[in-house]
Structure 1
Amino acid sequence: MAESPAEPSRTGFDSPEVLAKALSGTGYLPGDDLATAAFLALRMNRPLFCEGEPGTGKTAFAQALAQVLGAPLIRLQCHDGIDAGQALYDWDFPRQLLHLRTLEATGGELDPGAVEHSLYDERFLLARPILRALRTSPSVLLIDEIDRADDEFEAFLLEVLTEHAVTIPELGEIRAVSPPAVVLTSNRTREVHDALKRRCLYVWLDHPDVAGEIRILRSRLPGLSERLATEVAEAVAALRAADLVKPPGVAETLDWAQALQLIGSTTLDLDGAAATLGAVLKYREDAERALAVLARRDPS
């Protein structure tokens, strides 16, 4: 018996090429590896773990993915010391206290069990990002900079991403009707444990090459001339190869090109670069090194 053709993805994207085209329509130009990994993650209902240097477009990818899926982006920004409570839920204590005082003001006999039950009503629940994502269908859950969290939070996250459910003691289990599309990002400030990575599909994001960055510039800044886009992309590539404290990312490249446009530059000369360098570099030491690099490139 002949095999039946594969059914289209529930997202409407039946190939990596179709997904890449949709992402490109938002202004985000994915490489083939990212488009394929994203397509598979959606098709297999697996989280996508995006790792790479800062500024390579990991967060922007999640934003573009939410846009093409027509789903809200729910972002959990990880940081040192983050715990499950900050990711899941909390109770609105001031409103609970006000509710309790209102009950007391009404007078009469109050059943302690009924009072406690009323205090932990759904209306007093403050849903944090993970709980919001589980309760919102469809949604894209961005877990940003997971490398900044600790081992305990990773273990909690692994359980949630496996079960697509959480238990609130006062309310019971809350399970996703349709699991969110999950994107995790890491700047690789530390190694994330294998247990969490095994739950995900993995892709490494690098800075685009010069040709890729030119395409991004022309796509996001339609009024930018090809010459200025080329000169900015080539200059940024040179800066990334220099020994900078914080090499520029794609977002900084776009800011720089836009700044040059706004001051009327049609080419990237040394004067224009010096005047707008604050758009692309954020450290004084980097600015000094960058001017030296750009001076060597300036034909004048």
Structure 2
Amino acid sequence: MIHIGDYIEQFINWLTLNFAPFFDAVKVVVESIVNSVEWVLMFPPFYVIIILVAFLAWKRTGWGIMLFTLAGLSLIWGMGYWAETMATLALILSSAFIALLLGIPLGIWAAKNELAGKMIRPMLDLMQTMPAFVYLIPAVLFFGLGKVPGAFATVIFSMPPAVRLTTLGLRQVPKDIVEATRSFGASSRQLLFKVELPLALPTILAGVNQTIMMALSMVVISAMIAAGGLGEVVLKGITQLKIGLGFEGGIAVVILAIILDRITQSFGLKTSAKA
């Protein structure tokens, strides 16, 4: 019998024991980010947030999604889940920001370095196919219970699309444009920031959209380790067999998902249209 799990468990325990100060520092930073975003979302009255999000939806997508945003967020407030929704949104935005901060540079590296691309690709396959619940185990060991392990698990789960689509976008840049830019004496840095990234931007923004949507799906699962938010509402509905409570939490998640998807998707579509 080959017990790979035993070796993985030993490795995780070794990390927990020897890198405790590092994990404590990460916990402080991530917790401050999540709490700051949540404070920003909770500080104004609910109707101010609704109006601002609806205005953004109108500017980016038009009247249809704006009306849906007004109705959907008002329904969430009417059901009494405004605080939980803002907590979920704060965790999504914070986790997606960290995932993009790590994922986009990794995608650039994988696109520029063939060896790096071959090394990163299997890791992304593992991150995407591993059952989401498995990420909760090391997250709890490293950071305990709460929002931080939820954010950690969400970052791991949602980062692959950012890496893959950044790599794909850069590799799809026409070779003749790259060669022409180099022939004019552009440096590698100028080529990347002034030619390749602008041309790859629609694909990268599609990765941003997918990262945010995957973060939303993982944030709900993270309620199992006391991350709070709408996931906790859904979890209570399941554990207490309260069908109505579970559906109310699920409806709030669906409304939030549609709003985030349409708004973030619009950035990629409009950028692609301009190109």
TM-score, length-scaled by structure 1: 0.26
The answer to which structure has the higher strand fraction is 1
Q: Greater CA radius of gyration, 1 or 2?
A: 1
TM-score, length-scaled by structure 2: 0.27
